Amino acid sequence: MERKKVTILDLQEKKQRGEPITMLTAYDYPTALLVDRAGIDIILVGDSLAMVVLGHENTVAVTMDEMLHHCRAVARGAKYPLLVGDMPFLSYQVDRREAVRNAGRFLKEGGMDVVKLEGGQEMADTVKAIVDAGIPVMGHIGLTPQSISKLGGFRVQGKSVEAAKKLLADAAALEEAGAFSIILEAVPDRLAKLITERVKIPTIGIGAGPHCDGQVLVIHDLIGLFDRFTPKFVKRYANIFPILTQALEQYRQEVLSGAFPGREHSFTMPDEVYEALLRELE
């Protein structure tokens, strides 16, 4: 069957059929190409690039211009997945009109299909304003990395009755505001199940157990390319950091020893041309 571009409607139909949704991050052309070819439904150009690509301690430092730069690269590499641009810190929290304008830039300048932003009830009006402007929005509740200082670190959310009720209310508010999907991050599995059952829009889990409508991981965690830490909820499907390190070390050694480049890696000049050149130089 011919593969077609994934749409928001496709995701809604997957939820209704009980068919899992697949989602991964990508931050550049070659990675987007790989994720696309793997048949993944959604690519998130996440603000996690601040940490795994740009080397910052958290996601707060990444800028709109940096996000758009990476979005454009991903858009050039991915043809079929739904493309989600992650709105960075302070691009939507301060002013609603500025939030709509920045969301529009992700579509107009970044080549994204939709945007994602963090926050629940407190962001519902902003979500509605962006949706009313014709820009689809994916919500994000639970552990929201842009608010990591307020949350007291990378901790599981919704562990008390009151905290769980707030997350349920957050999900309902985002759905009411027009969000087409919600990411649930670092949420207890049974609470994620309750949220998934109570909202009509798809939920995508990251550290939220098996009962969400879909799953997302940071690709650098999945393939073992980020060396600082690995979250508990990550399953590492490959560990390429030591493989790449070994390859680079071997390259260094072969350059030092003269083993590289060999004749097979070099361009040769015909003998008669070389000899003529030497005569010219005499």
Please give the C-alpha separations between residue 267 and each of 130, 259, 261, 263, 276, in angstroms, as whole numbers.
Answer: 57, 16, 11, 8, 18
Active site includes 185?
yes
Who contacts 56 (Cβ-Cβ below 8 Å, separation ≥6)? 50, 62
Amino acid at 143: L
CB-CB contact of 99 with 92 (8 Å): yes
Q: Which of 185, 197, 275, 282 is catalytic?
A: 185
Q: What are 156's two structure tokens? A: 């599981």
**Known catalytic residues?**
185
